[in-house]
Amino acid sequence: MSLEQVVTQPDPYAPFLLSQAIKANGFVFVSGQAAIGDDGKLVGVGDFDRQAEQAFRNLERALKAADSGLDKIVKVTIFLRSMENFAKIIELRRTWFSAPYPADSIIEVSSLYSPDALIEIEAIALDGGK
């Protein structure tokens, strides 16, 4: 089995020594996508809606860089700092995903990579060849 690193331009995750995603055996494993802007800084401090939009845009960008897409996601895990935003996640799923909707876990956590981060999304998708 070969592993192929997926890199986006820009790659705000490079300083953290992790891959945006890894392609292996017909799948794309996407690292947790937070609301990191192209400048490497957190977008929308204190604003869940802005952070969620940026996180979904980052997820889409990582998948496109892997020759995949949102429509090829098999499993998504969404980490939230507060389940108070659960209803917003349902609406975001309507906006960003389509049937058949991916399998999903939504998990409340006490902290993410930054105390100001409110959401992070990781995914497993089929690569473009499948």
| pLDDT, tens only, 22-75 | 999 999 999 999 999 988 899 999 999 999 999 999 999 999 999 999 999 999
The contacts of residue 55 (CB under 8 Å, 6+ apart) are: 33, 34, 35, 119, 120, 121
pTM over 0.85: yes
Q: Output phi, psi for 68, to 5 deg.
A: -125, -160
| pLDDT, tens only, 82-109 | 999 999 999 999 999 999 999 999 999 9
Domains of the chain: 4-126 (3.30.1330.40)
